[in-house]
Homo-oligomer: A and B are copies of this chain.
Amino acid sequence: MKEEQKESEDNATCKGYLHGLAIDAVIFGFHDHQLKVLLMEYKKSKIFALPGGFIRDDEDLNKAAHRVVSERTGLQNIYLEQFYVFGDHGRSDPRSMKTIMNNIGLQHDDNHWLLQRFISIGYYALVDFIKVTPMPDKIFDGCAWYPLDDIPELMQDHAQIVKKALNSLQVDLDRKLVAFNLMPEEFTMNELQAVYETILDKKLLRAAFQRKILGLGLLERVAKKWTGGAHKAPYLYRFIS
């Protein structure tokens, strides 16, 4: 707890962190046939935002991003992609920030560093939904999953950040095989196809999809366990480790 307190104080004064720079993370999970993102709700303010954080003086940028995402999900070794820097002069939202600071009892004047201009480096993360334990901290009431097509109004330009993250994920999808990071350890080909179809927002031809994915030589069949009914059990696959 002492370390947490220290970190919170350091945060309040910006001591030990780079000025004017933030990280915002769009954490994608796939659940219930939907692509979902993890959102924070600031205390008592009904203001929603992406999980984010700052970069320590002595910390590599990418490590800071991993730390920020780990703190909110409880996961290590997360698949992260830096996708864009949001640096418009007018992107700050001092009114929301003042409300948040008032509600969490953070004393400030108009020159407080949190009210200044920030440039935000956007990362998207792909996680296995069921492994995540969403973790708020003392300045948030909530940290929860929201379906991508039903997210609340977000502060600052965070809605734009989510949109740009999704675009980047769509572009990266084939090239980097990133979608596997959204899957549980074992999955059916239909489940994988559903993830692709949801991200790309279009139907794919089943035979062509399976041929392409299996042609990569990255998956192996798992011995059948499924005994759910009269239908033929689908094959389960996992990554060749």
Contacts and interface: CB of A to CB of B under 8 A. Distances in A.
Contacts of A20: 18-21
A62 B60 CA distance: 23
Nearest to A88: B60
A85 B88 contact: no
- Count copies of this chain in the complex: 2
Interface residues of A, number: 24
Contacts of A64: 87
Contacts of A82: 84-85
A5 B89 CA distance: 25
Contact of A61 (B55, B61, B85, B175): B85
A153 B127 CA distance: 40
A58 interface: yes
Interface string A14-39: 00001111000000000000000000
Contacts of A60: 87-89
A168 to B, nearest CB: 12
Contacts of A84: 82
Interface of A: 18-21, 55, 57-62, 64, 82, 84-89, 117, 119, 121, 171, 175
